[in-house]
A and B are shown apart, each in its own frame.
Chain A
C-alpha cells in the first residue's frame, strides 16, 4: 500500500489546462470576442448618448409653454410653437394604431395559431417580411394614389392609412414570434378543459404572450411616430390647427424636416425643440401603455 503511494508521481492538477499552442489560441480568441463585443457595445451606446445629449442641448433651451400651445409664426418670426404639429402627430399615430394594431395582431394570430407550416401561411409570412423591408415612402405613394388623388386633397386620413400599413407587418411579426413562444402545453391544458379554440387563444394564449405583444405594438407606434417620408405625400403638413382628418394635417417629423432647413435661426431652434418633444412623447407613450396594460407586473420585458 505504502509502496504504491510512494511510486505515484505528483501528477499535474487535472483542472489546469496544459500550456499548448491550441489552448493559447483558444484563450486569445476568447479574450478577443469579449473585447470586441464590449467595444461594439460601448461604441453603440456612445453614439446614442451623443445623439440624445446633442438634441437635449440644442433643443432644451427652446422648450417653453408656447411650444405646446401656439402654432408657428409666419415668415420665421421669433415666437410661436408646434402645438398643431403635436396635435397632428397624436391624431395620425392614433389613426394608424386604430387599424394597424388589430390588423397586425390578427395576422400574427393567424400565422401562429392557424397557419402552421402550410403554403398560405408561408406566403403570408414571406409577404409580411417583404413589407417590413419596403422603404416607407412606398406606403406614402400607395395612400397618395388611393386616397389623396381620388379625394383631390392631402389629408390626415391618407397619412394615418400610410402609417397604419407600416405598422401592420411590425405588429404581425412580433406577435407571431411571441405567440409561438407560448408552450403548446398551455393550449392543451385549456383545450382539455373543454374550452373552444377561440377561447383558448383569447383567454390563455394571448394573455401569456401579453408583454411581448405590447412591446411589439409600442415599437410599431414609436416607429411610425417618427416617419416623415410617407407623410410628405399624404398628410402634407399644415401651419394651422386642424383636427379634420379629411384636410391636410401637420406632424412633428414634418415640421422638424421643414424647420431644420429653414434660413431662420428661430425655426432651426424649434426643430431641435420639436425633436426633443418627439423623443419624450414616444417615451411617455410607451411607458403609459405598459403601465395601463399592467406590462410592468410579472417583471415585464
Chain B
C-alpha cells in the first residue's frame, strides 16, 4: 500500500498551508513527518485520509495515489477512504461516557462490519495489538473516561486497528503524554510498522529517529528534505534541515 503524493496544494480559506508537495511513502515501515509547529504536518496527514475537507474552507488540489488510485478522484467517497486509512489524533479522543469495549467496537458498529461473538473477538484482538488488553480485560464495561491519558491513546489506537485499516496515520500521538506512556506508544509504533505502513507526525526528532525508517522535513508549508532516517539526521543535504536538526530554530 504505497502512497504517492503528487503536487499537493492545500488551503484554509484563502491562506495556503501546503505548497506543491510531492512525496512517496513506502508500502512498508514507518515514515516520520517532522518540522516546527505550524509548518503543515497535521494538514498534510489529514489530506491523506481526506479529513482536511471536514474543516470549513478546507480545499485540496493535486493527487494522492494509494496503490495507484487517486483518492481525490471525483468518483471516490471520503467515507470509504477513511474506512481504509486509520487515524490517531494528537489529543486522545475516546468517547468518554462509553465503555472501553464500546470505544473499540464503535468503528465496527458505525460501519456495520461485525456483531456478536465476532465483534468480541475483534475487540480483544485490537486491544491486544494496542498493548492494552492486559490492563483493561477485567473492566471492559467501565467508561473510557476513567483511563489515564496514555491508556486512552492506546484505546484510540485499538479503535483505529479494529476496522482493519490498510494504512495508519498518527498525528503527534504521544505529544500529550508522559514519558512512560510515550515509550509505550513508541514500542507500539515499532510493532505496527511491521504490518502496516505508518505515517507519524512528530515535532520530536529523537522520536523520529527511534521509530521511523524514513523521515520527511517540512518547513513553512513546503517539503524541504526527505530521506532514510539515519542518513537524514547524520548527513542532511539542505541548510534548513541542518539548522533545524541542530536546533538553530524551532
Contact = CB atoms under 8 A, between A and B. Distances in A.
Nearest to B97: A298
Interface stretch (B104-112, B131-139, B193-201): B104-112
Interface string A184-225: 011011111111100110011001100000000000000000
A194 B109 contact: no
B118 interface: no
Nearest to B81: A194
Nearest to A210: B97
Contacts of A208: 95, 97
Interface string B96-123: 0100000000110111000000000000
A200 B111 CA distance: 11
A199 B80 CA distance: 14
Interface in A145-184: 183
B83 interface: yes
A18 interface: no
A204 B93 CA distance: 12
A249 B175 CA distance: 64
Contacts of B12: none
A185 B96 CA distance: 11
Given A185-B89, A185-B93, A186-B93, A192 B106 contact: no
Interface in B36-55: 49, 51, 54
A117 B243 CA distance: 42
A188 B54 contact: yes
Q: How many B residues are at the interface, by size bracket?
A: 20 to 34
A188 B42 CA distance: 14
Interface string B48-68: 010100101000000000000
A116 interface: yes
Nearest to A199: B110
Listed residue (B106, B143, B159) with the most chain A CB atoms within 10 angstroms of its CB: B106
B19 to A, nearest CB: 25
Nearest to A185: B93
Given A194-B110, A194-B111, A195-B110, A189 B156 contact: yes
A194 B80 CA distance: 6
B46 to A, nearest CB: 9
A48 B44 CA distance: 58
B54 to A, nearest CB: 6
Contacts of A207: 97
Interface of A: 116, 183, 185-186, 188-196, 199-200, 203-204, 207-208, 298
